Amino acid sequence: MFVQLVGLPGCGKSTLAAALERIEPRVRRVPVTYRRLGTLARTAPARTLPLCLRLAPFASRALLERSEGMTLAARLAPMPTLVNLLLVYERTQTVDGRVELFDEFVYQRILGYLGSFDRLPPARWTRAFVASLRRYEALPIFITADPELALSRAEQRAEGLPRRLAGLSRSGRERVFRNQEAVMGVLMACAGPSIVIAGDREPEDGAREAAEKLAVLGALS
């Protein structure tokens, strides 16, 4: 089964993923090597171009919306990442009783993309975005966290904030994190079966809870 972690930057996705892989041998984090869209289009045009066409109506939203302190290129940055992730998904084979875990995937890229806009699109538009990628099913594990706490954690990480957020003012970052929390609420509402883990738990405790819930859902056998 494919599983994706979803949450605000600083909520503990990578930490939970490492703990889950450590305590549960049937969980494997999917390695992803990101390449430029131009490179992908040259080396794998039959797979890349249809994905780009599928995402084009949603990527065009960045032309209509604005984000204080964030360029158009920065607003569009999650889209090439999403194409890379979808190509990895197509190449990865699942094994019965094993979980293929993405630190980030469709929901996380939608979260980052829409959360950067000054004005959030209607919930129905977000649901349409999710529906357009329904074939790429991955059970979501939502990690909940207070936006202020998540932002403080993200700012204190050794690797720092994501590059597209690092140049924003503090108020700009706070806006993005609040927006991402709102988008996550829409994603949680339109998801099918899912798991919710509190981001303020100890990583091992959260990982054990996630493993138990994965077993209940039949992902681990």
In whole angstroms, give the CA distance from residue 137 to residue 23: 24
Tell me, what's the pLDDT at 153? 87
72 alpha-carbon distance from chain centroid = 20
Tell me, what's the pLDDT at 198? 94
Tell me, what's the pLDDT at 161? 78
Q: Which residue has the tokens 């924003």?
A: 168
Domains and CATH numbers, the chain: 2-216 (3.40.50.300)
| pTM exceeds 0.85, yes or no | yes
In whole angstroms, give the CA distance from residue 221 to residue 213: 12
Tell me, what's the pLDDT at 1? 92
Q: Which residues of the chain have pLDDT under 70?
A: 158
Tell me, what's the pLDDT at 66? 86
CB atoms within 10 A of CB 164: 19
Tell me, what's the pLDDT at 155? 87
Tell me, what's the pLDDT at 106? 96
Tell me, what's the pLDDT at 162? 79
